[in-house]
Amino acid sequence: MKKRINLQYMILTTVAIIATAVMFTAVFYNIIKNETLTDLSNYTDVLVSSDAWGIVSNPESIDDKNVTANYCGEIRITLVNDKGVALLDTEVDAYSMENHKERPEIMQAFNEGKGKAIRKSKTVQKDALYYAVLLDNGCVLRASKEVSNMTSLLISSLPVTGALCVVLFMICGVFSHFLTKSIVEPIEFLARNMDAPESVKVYKELVPFVTTIRRQHEDIMKNANMRQEFTANVSHELKTPLTSISGYSELIENGMATGEDITRFAGEIHKSSKRLLTLINDIIRISELDATSIDESFEKVNLYDVAKSCVEMLSLNAEKNNINVSVTGEDVYVSANAQMMEELIYNLCDNAIRYNNDGGKVDVIVKHYEKNGKEGSMVQVSDNGIGISKENQERIFERFYRVDKSRSKSTGGTGLGLAIVKHIIAKHPDAHIELESEEGKGTTIRVIFC
């Protein structure tokens, strides 16, 4: 990551330096061009004001058509009459020159009084900068300077410009290294200290990222602890019925049980195996709920029909425990997973039957729900059983947590029923659960869909 960020910074630096150098050269060239035009203009004004060679008072009387070039230095002077015929030139024989009336700077001077251009001279075959001015006698006086002189000035500045670019590149390289390090260092520190992410000091732009990592790390650690605890609890829960089965079967195998003992031991083996199968089924189901995504197949489900079906399935079990189970309400439809809704209501009713008193009752109510202006649907399961103390109410949805362990084992409870309910609620974003209970008086659990 460091190399990639550093490389990107260096590429950006290189592009920026090259762009700056090009812009600097363009600006410098433009400044030189403007200064050269100003010099040509000033030079022309001096020639006109001093009437050098009589170009203003009597241009046609000029005998020497070739004025010495040394007199003018690097500047070429040309005088053209109103017909475009060259009368004077400091570098070329004026008689041999073409008609200049079509030259851009000459045409502009005739039309506007002044003219300028940068072009290749047809006479001397060199690129030059031209400045022309219209005189009072109708002639045009033109001054020019080769562009090569300007170019050579720019070329002479290239070593300095190149050296400056190299220095800037090196400085930017150093800054890029430290900047990359400052960006990556908090992330690397976080990677090395995942167990203490709160100790990581980061700049404000990285706070959301670190917060997300911290939250995910906490969730991972929490889930890991839960799975470890779950594995330990599963091992413990499976050990009890297996020990019972192993012990009773060993007594029978060794001939230590006779007559009525064999029948009783077989009943205990059957009871433990049944509890073992129930436990395994619940473990498998809760693992499936953990593994599957939230995008389950939802459909239109009638909660009242599901509730009646669950009560019918549990009627025999209720009779054995001398519990009266009733279901009332109305047809209520929700968007949900049908199998999960059946498991949810079944587990709530089964739990209410298991933790009830002899001769107790369980009331299942399905109806439309309205509270604080919000409308929805509700499934409510109430019992007048043993109830749940305040300190236990927050933990009853945990896996293998039992309020009364002796009662749970005697009735065949696995301690996973309400944990499955909690997982099912989590799979339905529109649902939430409410609990009301008082020790010794009973429990009411509501599942509300909004």
pLDDT tens for each residue of the chain, 450 residues long = 667 776 777 788 888 888 887 887 788 778 878 888 888 888 888 887 877 656 655 655 554 444 444 445 678 888 888 888 888 888 888 788 888 888 899 999 999 999 988 888 777 777 788 999 998 888 888 888 887 655 665 666 677 777 877 888 888 777 777 777 777 777 777 667 666 555 556 667 667 777 777 777 777 877 777 777 767 766 766 777 788 888 888 888 887 777 778 888 888 888 778 777 777 777 777 776 666 554 568 899 999 999 999 999 999 989 988 999 999 999 999 999 888 899 899 989 988 998 888 889 999 999 998 877 778 899 999 999 888 888 777 777 776 666 655 545 555 556 677 888 888 888 888 888 989 988 888 999 999 998
* φ/ψ of residue 303, rounded to 5: -65, -30
* φ/ψ of residue 188, rounded to 5: -65, -40
Rg over CA atoms, the chain = 50
Which string of DSSP letters, residue by residue, matches 111-144?
HHSEEEEEEE-TTT-SEEEEEEEE-TTS-EEEEE
> CA-to-CA distance for 231 and 236, rounded, in angstroms?
9
Q: What DSSP character marks residue 352?
A: H
**Residue 139 in contact with residue 81, Cβ under 8 Å?**
yes
At 331 the pLDDT is 92
Amino acid at 212: T
User: How many other CB atoms sit within 10 Å of the CB of residue 283?
Assistant: 19
> CA-to-CA distance for 206 and 288, rounded, in angstroms?
36
DSSP three-state, residue 365: strand
Q: ∠39-40-43 over CA atoms, to 5°? A: 85
At 26 the pLDDT is 80
> CA-to-CA distance for 110 and 133, rounded, in angstroms?
8
**Residue 296 in contact with residue 427, Cβ under 8 Å?**
yes
Q: β-strands 361-371, 324-329: how paired?
A: parallel
- Please, what's the b/e burial string for 313-343 (b: 16 or more CB within 10 A of its CB; e: otherwise)? ebeebbeebebebebebeebebebbeebbbb
Which one, of 381, 352, 378, lies nearest residue 367 by Cα? Answer: 378
At 49 the pLDDT is 80
Torsion of CA 121, 126, 127, 128, to 10 degrees: -70
- β-strand partners of 444: 382, 436
> CA-to-CA distance for 251 and 257, rounded, in angstroms?
6
Which pTM was predicted?
0.50
Which one, of 118, 65, 117, lies nearest residue 94 by Cα? Answer: 65
Q: Please state, in angstroms and as integers, the Cα–Cα distance from residue 113 to each residue in 20, 110, 143, 208, 436, following that order.
A: 38, 6, 14, 69, 102
Which one, of 196, 174, 173, 177, lies nearest residue 185 by Cα? Answer: 177
Helix or strand (DSSP H, E) at 327? strand 324-329
